[in-house]
Structure 1
Amino acid sequence: MESPPPSSQPLVELSGISKHFGEGAARVDALHGVAMTISAGEVVGLLGPSGSGKSTLLNVIACIVEPSEGRMLLDGEAVFDGRWLRRDLRRLRLEKIGFVFQTHNLLPFLDATDNVALAMTLTGEGLDAARRRAWELLDYLQVGHRRYAMPAQLSGGEAQRVAIARALANRPRIILADEPTAALDSVRAGIVMDLLSRLAREQQAAIVTVTHDEKIMDRLDRIFRLRDGRLNA
């Protein structure tokens, strides 16, 4: 059965987002009036040279960096409008956002199952239920046969898929990926991006990835280009 196409439902809405660091002569303007809308089912890329503001923008969407001005809605909820509208940003991140990084960042003393289950226990899920959900995700990402393997026993591609399972554990609508394929060869990079594309469509999530990886450009639905903190779609 074919996956549903991208939905028109916006999951990320930014309007006039700016960010500066420092004041006076030391002020650095990292973002200038960024506006973007990303819908459910989309995989979009953030591209630009070093220092263009990509990581700052990703961290704004992640509710890690506070904008200097602007308005942001995530999954239909206004979370920033000149100030944070949510007091518990940690809870918001656990509920709405999944993270995938260039390096998998799996905890070396936990097996694949418990690396995934940990994300759920942080939100109050019982361990048995969390492990069952972890097994479902690992099976879905075709690494179920490695559920009891320690991170050091996993290949690079397997470890990245476990990391993706962890990102999906709490059923986030928004998945943020920072150079998720940079450490992988072209075959494994393609597999990871195909998985992310399938996840976006089947789970109607929005996936935003910072990348310099030419190998995956044809797997992105849209590309946003940043230069000197200004956005060009």
Structure 2
Amino acid sequence: MGGTASAPLVVLEGIAKGFGEGEARVQALSDITLSVEAGTVVGLRGPSGSGKSTLLNLIACILEPDAGRLALAGETVWEGGRYRRRDLRALRREKIGFIFQFHNLLPFLDATDNVALAMTLAGTGLAEARRRARDLLDYLEVGRRAAAMPAKLSGGEAQRVAIARALANRPRIILADEPTAALDSERARVVMDLLRQVAREQRAAILVVTHDEKIFDRFDRLVSLRDGRIESELVPAKAA
């Protein structure tokens, strides 16, 4: 697999997270140790309440761990009970792209400007942002829909635009929360194949939370969570 010899882009060591106080406290994650290398797509599966979304939100620096160490793209982000960065929004803009179950495209912007907006918010000029947006849409084979409004896009097309938006600021880490749940089997596999392509060609590490058994064969590794702990990890058999 590409990227397995390089340093991991995501490193979690002994990560723990709980919610609530006293007898009402719930331990959402316990002693999570996991690494994801460049060029790799890792699936996170498990029953509801197993800690999948909590783990994704910790990696995204949306939730703060209680213990352990988190490093992203070679930078220790959280350790010793505190974040090592003051501006977490800048950290997310620099290092992380997000893909959601529903595309969450802005309905009043066309496909190009939905992608360009992510870059202009990070300080890129509008002309350059639109140029890169069109390049990304071409890369994801949806360039012919660059001027289309979200309401005119199919589910698969909209999700490709959302992937382009996630790539806009050249993140090395992409976090996806149920990105194929709203798609049929064929479109779900196409989206996952695109993510595999992105991981290899952009040298990205991609983590995907999913319940979707029809895409398990698209992962390089599949990590199972139960009761806030890693229960198992396997390399799925790839489909022909």
Shorter chain as normaliser: what TM range?
Answer: over 0.9
Q: Normalization by structure 2: what TM-score? A: 0.95
Once residues 170 and 177 of structure 1 are traced to their aligned partners in structure 2, the CA distance between those partners, rounded to angstroms, is 16
Identity %: 71
Hey, what does 1:113 align to over in structure 2?
Answer: 112
Hey, what does 1:209 align to over in structure 2?
Answer: 208
Q: Could you give the per-residue CA deviations for residues 98-149 of structure 1, whole angstroms, max 9, x where no partner exists?
A: 0001100000000000000000011100000000000000000011000010
Hey, what does 2:187 align to over in structure 1?
Answer: 188
Q: Could you give the per-residue CA deviations for residues 18-43 of structure 1, whole angstroms, max 9, x where no partner exists?
A: 00111101111000010001000000
Alignment of 1:50-199 (within 5 A): 50-81=48-79, 82-199=81-198
Structure 1 residue 7 corresponds to structure 2 residue 11: no
Once residues 131 and 231 of structure 1 are traced to their aligned partners in structure 2, the CA distance between those partners, rounded to angstroms, is 42
Once residues 186 and 45 of structure 2 are traced to their aligned partners in structure 1, the CA distance between those partners, rounded to angstroms, is 21
Once residues 198 and 145 of structure 1 are traced to their aligned partners in structure 2, the CA distance between those partners, rounded to angstroms, is 20
Amino acid paired to 1:26:
A
Q: Could you give the per-residue CA deviations for residues 69-108 of structure 1, whole angstroms, max 9, x where no partner exists?
A: 1100000000000211100000000010000011000000
Residue 35 of structure 1, aligned match among 3, 26, 33: 33
Once residues 153 and 9 of structure 2 are traced to their aligned partners in structure 1, the CA distance between those partners, rounded to angstroms, is 33
Secondary structure of residue in 1 paired with 2:36: strand
Cα shift at 1:7: 3.4
Contact persistence 1:47–1:224 (CA under 8 A): yes
Cα shift at 1:6: 2.6
Once residues 175 and 199 of structure 1 are traced to their aligned partners in structure 2, the CA distance between those partners, rounded to angstroms, is 10
Hey, what does 1:26 align to over in structure 2?
Answer: 24
Q: Could you give the per-residue CA deviations for residues 41-66 of structure 1, whole angstroms, max 9, x where no partner exists?
A: 00000000000000000000011000
Contact persistence 1:7–1:204 (CA under 8 A): no
- In structure 2, stretches of 5+ residues that fail to align are 234-240
Q: Normalization by structure 1: what TM-score? A: 0.97
Q: Could you give the per-residue CA deviations for residues 159-207 of structure 1, whole angstroms, max 9, x where no partner exists?
A: 0000000000000000000000011011101110000000000011000
Hey, what does 1:224 align to over in structure 2?
Answer: 223
Amino acid paired to 2:23:
A
Q: Could you give the per-residue CA deviations for residues 187-233 of structure 1, whole angstroms, max 9, x where no partner exists?
A: 10111000000000001100000001011100100011110000132
The two structures, once aligned, show a CA RMSD in angstroms of 0.8
Hey, what does 2:238 align to over in structure 1?
Answer: none
Count of paired positions: 230
Cα shift at 1:5: 1.5
Once residues 54 and 195 of structure 1 are traced to their aligned partners in structure 2, the CA distance between those partners, rounded to angstroms, is 22
Once residues 44 and 186 of structure 2 are traced to their aligned partners in structure 1, the CA distance between those partners, rounded to angstroms, is 22
Secondary structure of residue in 2 paired with 1:172: coil
Once residues 126 and 157 of structure 1 are traced to their aligned partners in structure 2, the CA distance between those partners, rounded to angstroms, is 29
Secondary structure of residue in 2 paired with 1:223: strand
- In structure 1, stretches of 5+ residues that fail to align are none
